[in-house]
Structure 1
Amino acid sequence: MMMLKMTSGWSRWLGALTLAGGVLVGGSAANAESSDPIKMTLHDWTGQLITTKIMGEVLKKSGYYVDYVQADYIAQFAGLKTGDLDVAMEIWETTGREAMDEATGTGKVENMGPTGMQAIEEWWFPEYMKEQCPGLPDWKALNDCAEIFSTPETAPRGRYLGAPVTWGGFDDERVEALDLDYDVVHAGTDAALFAELESAYQRKAPILLWVYAPHWAPAKFDGEWIKFPKYAADCYNDPSWGSNPDMAYDCGKPSGPIWKVAWSGVKDKWPGAYKAIKNFHLTNDEMSQMIIDVDLEGRKVDDVVQDWITANEGVWKLWVE
């Protein structure tokens, strides 16, 4: 980068432009209350990358500087508490609520409100499996069909293909609490999880796995989520709740909003960005289509994000006003 001699104030401003991810895209630097980059976390599923980059690119257009930082979904809260990380755009009610509540309870992390998207994450099976296991989707039918869902590695126990272990979700605890004859095998990546579903579905092979929405899978494939005992907060917190008096997690997963969270210092350091993040809103249908564009159509995340920003200028400008 060409260096220029300037007054110390202008030099500091120019120096901020060299920060990783902090390229100014439109807008005015005067809009940014601080030239420090806003550090936004990236995780390992397509929808979260889209959500984060839409918000990040909108902030850049308003004069802010943004760093995208790869971070673990649950462990990120340690960085958010200290201000080493600033914003996490997707905390799912289904898997992240406990970690979020613990972090916000310290006063060091703030819940920035819902994204507008509603989360479902649960055990899922293709509709064709009802022929082999007619008691589905009732969870009580699972043990009767364990051998049907087994693999050479788990037989005679069934296999449940879980999400990457960093996503949480308490599936191992659920199996133990409900005395299910299944082994939880965690997929290494989001892509591997759904590649296995695609392969099994084409062959009409048995498969039981973690599926979530918003996502393309429940739209593309005909299937159902397992109906576990309905979630209640006491199920996770009070072992005496539910069918197993000695263990927690003897129920299904919660469903509900996908939340945004931030280091509590964002409000004072970048008040304009703080307002924009609170105003961010997407629907399940919007997100599902963008995930389809990336995962099924093979488009790049950044291209899909830029297309959304171009087509929805009237929407995101209201976030930053």
Structure 2
Amino acid sequence: MKTTLKMLGLLAGLNIGLAPAMAFSPESDEPIKIMVADWTSMAINTDIVAQILGSYGYNVQKVVADDSARYPGFESGDLTIAVETWQTTQQTAFEKSVATGKVVDLGETGMHAKEEWWYPEYMKERCPGLPDWTALKKCAEAFSTADTAPKGRYLSGPVAWGGHDEERVAALGLPFEVVHAGTEAALFAELKSAYERKAPIMLWVYVPHWVPAVFKGEFVNFPKYEAACTTDAAWGVNKSATYDCGKPEGWIKKMGWAEGEKKWPCAYQIVRNFTMDNDTISKLVQEVDVNGRSIEDVSTEWLKANEPTWRKWAACAQ
């Protein structure tokens, strides 16, 4: 627990830009600690939910936490709510945490997650056979840099995102070195630079996100994920290793500290009702990451334009 707590930091000065609700008193004035991780869609969705709850008088704090280290914090109540938990990298840890009875599944957001190795379209000429993953065994050097040659270079996300890329490389016998970007911004800044120069690059891309709409490219087709891939070495193409498959894809869920639902039942109902879709959040992320607008301005603009929608989510507070 000490390790987890060191990763947490309160963000002061939460901006509530919505008109205050009338004639509603929150069930408790204790702080609802909403987790924020290090990618833009979660920051935007978190700010949207925080502003909604704040408009109804809830004491809301946004708390920064590493994605893969969140679970002890939720089980202890140090964290209250998270609006994005991705099946792609967190399914096993999430389900294990819910099984303790200390964490509650607050339902799907409506967004569909995919995270995988991605390359620009121009790399297909240099690596015939793509998007089939087996092509990478023959043309890894096409993705190499001075630091990795003759091995290919795979630019992964920040370490806190998880994803088991090192295990996948080893299990599938891929002649690649995994290099982790320090931040999401650094990850996609490197893509932009490489794309403009038609330089070799293979990196972690995910949706919902603006990248696939701006840059032409494809995801690598790895062996399809099944749960046994991560637990049974006998499964899959490598009979002596796990993670010889692609990442799962599917839901993005909301989660919460189970005891918190007793303390703030209406707030939890608002979070359960909250939904978002891929197209909408991708455009909001683009406004922040590409057009340079602030998260607070983008989320507040969405809230003002969609007030009838989120007021319905908050029917328990009307």
Q: 1:294 aligns with which of 283, 288, 294?
A: 288
1:24/1:159 Cα in 2 relative to 1: closer, same or farther (>3 Å)?
closer
Q: Deviation string for 1:78-124 (max 9, x for gaps)?
A: 11000011001111010111110111010000111101100010000
For residue 30 of structure 1, report the CA deviation from its aligned partner. 4.0
Q: What is the rounded CA distance, in whole Å, between the counterparts of 2:272 and 2:154 in structure 1?
A: 37
Q: Deviation string for 1:286-320 (max 9, x for gaps)?
A: 10000010011110000000000000001100111
Matches within 5 A, 1:10-49: 21=14, 26-28=20-22, 30-49=24-43
Q: 2:97 aligns with which of 100, 103, 111?
A: 103
Q: 1:193 aligns with which of 187, 200, 223?
A: 187
Q: 1:181 aligns with which of 175, 182, 187?
A: 175
1:159 corresponds in structure 2 to: 153
Q: What is the rounded CA distance, in whole Å, between the counterparts of 1:267 and 1:198 in structure 2?
A: 43
**Does residue 205 of structure 1 match 2:204?**
no
1:74 corresponds in structure 2 to: 68
Answer yes or no: is the 8 Å Cα contact 1:163–1:190 preserved in 2: yes
For residue 282 of structure 1, report the CA deviation from its aligned partner. 0.5
Q: Deviation string for 1:27-82 (max 9, x for gaps)?
A: 25843100011000111111110011101101111221100011111111111000
Task: Determine helix, strand or coil for the equivalent of 1:84.
Answer: coil
Task: Determine helix, strand or coil for the equivalent of 1:68.
Answer: strand
Q: 2:124 aligns with which of 126, 130, 142?
A: 130
For residue 21 of structure 1, report the CA deviation from its aligned partner. 3.9
* TM-score where L is the length of structure 1: 0.92
2:3 corresponds in structure 1 to: none
**Does residue 62 of structure 1 match 2:56?**
yes
Q: 2:304 aligns with which of 279, 303, 310?
A: 310
2:253 corresponds in structure 1 to: 259
Q: Deviation string for 1:137-175 (max 9, x for gaps)?
A: 000000111111111111111100000010001100000
Q: What is the rounded CA distance, in whole Å, between the counterparts of 2:167 and 2:23 in structure 1?
A: 50
1:231 corresponds in structure 2 to: 225
Answer yes or no: is the 8 Å Cα contact 1:21–1:65 preserved in 2: no
For residue 209 of structure 1, report the CA deviation from its aligned partner. 0.5
Q: What is the rounded CA distance, in whole Å, between the counterparts of 1:292 and 1:23 in structure 2?
A: 22
Runs of 5+ unmatched residues, structure 2? 1-11
Q: 2:143 aligns with which of 140, 145, 149?
A: 149
2:107 corresponds in structure 1 to: 113
Amino acid at match of 1:281: T
Query: % of aligned pairs identical?
Result: 52
Matches within 5 A, 1:210-221: 210-221=204-215
For residue 236 of structure 1, report the CA deviation from its aligned partner. 1.0
Q: What is the rounded CA distance, in whole Å, between the counterparts of 1:100 and 1:171 in structure 2?
A: 19
Task: Determine helix, strand or coil for the equivalent of 1:138.
Answer: coil
Answer yes or no: is the 8 Å Cα contact 1:293–1:299 preserved in 2: yes
Matched residue pairs, number? 303
Task: Determine helix, strand or coil for the equivalent of 1:224.
Answer: strand
Across the aligned residues of Structure 1 and Structure 2, the Cα RMSD in angstroms comes to: 1.4
Task: Determine helix, strand or coil for the equivalent of 2:141.
Answer: coil
Q: What is the rounded CA distance, in whole Å, between the counterparts of 1:24 and 1:194 in structure 2?
A: 30
**Does residue 285 of structure 1 match 2:279?**
yes
For residue 267 of structure 1, report the CA deviation from its aligned partner. 1.2
Answer yes or no: is the 8 Å Cα contact 1:28–1:63 preserved in 2: no
Q: Deviation string for 1:248-283 (max 9, x for gaps)?
A: 100000000111000001211000001000000000
Runs of 5+ unmatched residues, structure 1? 1-18
For residue 23 of structure 1, report the CA deviation from its aligned partner. 6.6
Q: What is the rounded CA distance, in whole Å, between the counterparts of 1:38 and 1:159 in structure 2?
A: 42
Tell which structure's C-alpha radius of gyration is larger.
1
